[in-house]
Chain A
Amino acid sequence: MAAEETIVSVAGGTGIGLVPLLRQVAPFAALFGLAALLPLTHNAYFGLVIGRAAVYWILVSGLNLVVGFAGQLALGWVALLTVGAYTTSVLAAGTALPAISPFLALGAAAAVGAVAGVVVGLPALRLRTFYFAMSTFGFATIVTQIALAWRSVTGGGIGVIGPVFGGPFGSTWGFYYFCLGGAVLATWLSGNVARSRFGRGLLAIRDAEVAAEASGVFKPGLLVLVFLFAGATAGVSGGLFASLQTYITPDAFTFDLSLLFFIAILIGGRGSILGPLLSTVLLTLLPEVAAPLVAWSTFLYAALLLVIVLAVPGGIANLLDFASRKPLETGRIIRPDVSALPVLLSGHAAERQLSFEGVTLAFGGVRAIDGLSFTVEPAAVHGLIGPNGSGKTTVLNVISGYYRPGEGSVRLGERELAPGAAHSRAAAGVGRTFQTPRIVGEASVLANVMIGGTTRGRGTFLEAVFSLPRHRREEAALRERALLALKAVGLEQLAQVRADRLQHSELRFLEIARALMPEPSLLLLDEPAAGLAPDEIALLGGLIIAISRAGVAVLLVEHHTDLVFGVCENITVLNLGRELTHGTPAEIVAHQDVIDAYLGS
């Protein structure tokens, strides 16, 4: 994705300079402005082709959130276009019910499309990638068969006449402006979703699903909202398509069309809006320009797709992402500013103790955790050490809700943390980092940190779609807070950089910043020092102590014993899922079993 686009997107309309905002909007304004001048050519053919591109874009703008942002491979989305086209045409023509105004029918198509979007998309909650792609294929076939068989309503193979939008939109160019207006609206709405916490949640689901859950992103709920949105835009697009075609029959909804929508997003670039917009226009125009090659058009589409996938996986958006080509400053030093922490962590309700009591977890016959108990006090750092395979990360995963323990309970303060339900942990006050940093590489550092603030949002999806005041205020506050968190961990100057351009050590600090966003009572750190230079480990140690001083209970899993003994008040030593011993660093260092089992090696 174009990091620049994201960064600015993330900033929302508020709290952002006018110049970057203009730079962001300019390409869209230029594109749509140019399109608005098209009637000056007095060429109905150009009007039709560009109008068609606008209609396709209305669908693609919604599908883009599903495919480009959430990473769900919805290949057969033409099914939704079909549903929208038939709904609008049938209602406007009055073949089933008394005829209604085409504009009302278009609204109905949006509603029916939204519902159908959820039906087609629902398998994505259970099925992954190729499976889901296959299931959408199946829906496309079924919708066509229904359109053929339900003759009394759809006209069967003979089809039904497309709606004619009256009033100012009745003429060729009136309808053209209607479509163009729809495209502008769709761009704005999908852009609003993309740069809201919902859009960031989608990216997180795509690239870092586990981290998304830990940040409080509830995948099923979010996907349903996005399928509703993408279904609605496809429904509207279908209605306009029917009008553009003047007459619709089931054979107008070809697989090639589905392919065009899908490929447009990937050629445009995942996670971008400008890229897919440009490639939608490009792919609509291409067969017209290359008319002598029309027989080979599908072949050429496919070849283009192959070349893009192999040569420029980031698509057009990556080609346009000039900002990410500027080299970053080398020899950067991470400078945590712990003075930001008290402000960042000032509001948390109470300092709470973690109680891990009698937990047992077995995989098949192997007991990964075997009756383990320990507590982590607020404002203290608790170390968890042990040889590889002793169950350290498994303990974190039980606390985070990725595993359901067979026995025992995990409580934070007075509240029991529900077994499983990883997405509930952020709201319950648990933040964590991962052994391998899990980030959205194509999004900016700031956007990645803002993902951590998902649970702080109160505004609804609709508020985000229409960018209403409460939503804008929340976004601005979240952005302020994310910058503060970045300041605390020492990455403030990299806020606008694509996260995949960072060094490994910087990603570790980025994850801590993200984990601090929901103001956790408990912070789980999974080998945060792995891959860090000695001076960076020292900085990390200071940061961990400062975080605990602010009242947070910290549970640290680490192999670097210097760090563990330097920052922990208490340490639990694990071996084969059981506690070997526990105590203060001084006690542990002196413990013969520990020396034998672990430190001695």
Chain B
Amino acid sequence: MVESILSYGLAMGAVYALMAVTYNVMFSTSRVFSFTAGALGMLGGVFGALFIGRLGLPSGVGFLLTLGCCALIGVVTEFVAVRPVLKSLDQHLYVLSTLALTLMIQQFTAIEWSTVPQPFPRVLPFDLFVRERFWMPVLACAVVVGGMEFLYRHSMVGRAFLAIAEDNFAARALGLPERGLRIGSYALAGMIGGLAGFTSGGILLAFFANVPTLNFYGFVPVALGGIGNNRGAVVAGLALGLFQQAANYLVGGVFASVAIFSVFIVALLAAPQGLFGAAPARRV
């Protein structure tokens, strides 16, 4: 039982954390939470199953193609659903445009791929102590979060990212290529979301209806970890995964989702800026 809680809990926790990073990366350059995060995660699994399982491509090729396609979807999000509404951010039109795009992706997948879960193929011919579906998401999460930290600290692009995340107008005044960075961030978010879906394909399967699950459970670490706080997202994501799996054992799966939602609401009402986030500045 402990083994199952740890394996599934950490793997799913890492997936939630990756989804949270996906939200965060998109948010950092555009101030927009995009529903497409869940769609990217779902597509990571479907593309993986399509390229490796159905088309029979080698794992490595399938993996790179999946990341490439998801990056493309990320960029499409930026072009179609984000850029046109950035001017009127206060009207929250982004909620609608990204929701619309997500539904279109989800529905298209349901009709053109399958309405029932499809198998996700094995990626590697061997296991490392535990089965690949358990260690791959955790490794992906560590690589992504470590890579992001490195990028932010030690590269010009990363610092430019941070500058934009801090203050859009100031960054533009400094002559930073705000638009280019934003497109870049959406491509990166696409890859991270795709990575989450690909590495967890063995658990989540290639299934169009994974979108709402990933959207909700991926947003919980964003909310609890604090917007833009990737380390907070990892802590909150892993905690969520373990909590969910423990609740599966203790109270049963259906009530576990109710328990998670209740914790989410109560925690947010107590600390709207998240448990690790800073209080927002006054708006006058």
Interface residues of chain A, those whose CB is within 8 Å of chain B, are: 71, 73, 75, 123, 126-131, 133-135, 137-138, 141-142, 145, 149, 207, 209-210, 255, 259, 263, 266, 270, 295-296, 298-299, 301-303, 305-306, 309-310, 313, 393, 397, 400, 402-403, 434
Contact of A309 with B85 in the complex, beta carbons under 8 Å: yes
Contacts A134-B219, A145-B254, A397-B284; A310 near B97 (Cβ below 8 A):
yes
Interface residues of chain B, those whose CB is within 8 Å of chain A, are: 33, 80-81, 84-85, 88, 90-93, 95-97, 99-104, 107-108, 111, 212, 216, 219, 223, 254, 257-258, 261, 264-265, 268-269, 272, 282-284
Query: Quick one: which of B101, B107, B223, B282 contacts A402, CB cutoff 8 A?
Result: B282
Tell me what chain B mostly uses at the interface: helix, strand, loop, or mixed. Answer: helix
In the bound complex, CA of A224 to CA of B212 (Å): 28
In the bound complex, CA of A305 to CA of B81 (Å): 11
> Considering only CB atoms, which chain B residue lies closest to A259 in the complex?
B103
Query: Quick one: which of B85, B92, B102, B257 contacts A129, CB cutoff 8 A?
Result: B92
Contact of A134 with B216 in the complex, beta carbons under 8 Å: yes
For B108, list chain A residues within 8 Å (CB).
299
Contact of A73 with B92 in the complex, beta carbons under 8 Å: yes
For B269, list chain A residues within 8 Å (CB).
123, 126-127
Contacts A302-B107, A397-B284; A309 near B96 (Cβ below 8 A):
yes
Given contacts A141-B261, A149-B254, A306-B81, 17 further A-B contacts (CB under 8 A): A71-B91, A73-B95, A133-B95, A135-B268, A137-B212, A138-B261, A145-B258, A255-B212, A259-B103, A299-B104, A306-B80, A306-B104, A309-B93, A309-B96, A310-B80, A310-B97, A402-B284
Measured CB to CB, the closest approach of chain A to B198, in angstroms, equals 25
For A127, list chain B residues within 8 Å (CB).
268-269, 272
Contact of A299 with B107 in the complex, beta carbons under 8 Å: yes
Measured CB to CB, the closest approach of chain B to A436, in angstroms, equals 10
Measured CB to CB, the closest approach of chain A to B231, in angstroms, equals 20
In the bound complex, CA of A331 to CA of B99 (Å): 43
For B257, list chain A residues within 8 Å (CB).
141, 145
Contact of A306 with B92 in the complex, beta carbons under 8 Å: no
> Considering only CB atoms, which chain A residue lies closest to B280 in the complex?
A128
Measured CB to CB, the closest approach of chain B to A303, in angstroms, equals 6
Measured CB to CB, the closest approach of chain B to A78, in angstroms, equals 14
Contact of A142 with B258 in the complex, beta carbons under 8 Å: yes
Query: Quick one: which of A133, A135, A306 contacts B265, CB cutoff 8 A?
Result: A135
Give the interface centre of B80, B91, B284 by most chain A CB atoms within 10 Å: B284
Contact of B97 with A296 in the complex, beta carbons under 8 Å: no
> Considering only CB atoms, which chain B residue lies closest to A263 in the complex?
B96
Measured CB to CB, the closest approach of chain B to A593, in angstroms, equals 29
Measured CB to CB, the closest approach of chain A to B27, in angstroms, equals 10
Contact of A295 with B111 in the complex, beta carbons under 8 Å: yes
Contact of A305 with B265 in the complex, beta carbons under 8 Å: no
12 A-B contacts, Cβ less than 8 Å apart? A73-B92, A123-B265, A126-B269, A127-B268, A134-B216, A135-B268, A141-B257, A299-B111, A306-B80, A306-B100, A309-B97, A397-B284
For B284, list chain A residues within 8 Å (CB).
210, 393, 397, 400, 402, 434
Contact of A403 with B282 in the complex, beta carbons under 8 Å: yes
Measured CB to CB, the closest approach of chain A to B85, in angstroms, equals 7
In the bound complex, CA of A516 to CA of B56 (Å): 74
Measured CB to CB, the closest approach of chain A to B72, in angstroms, equals 18
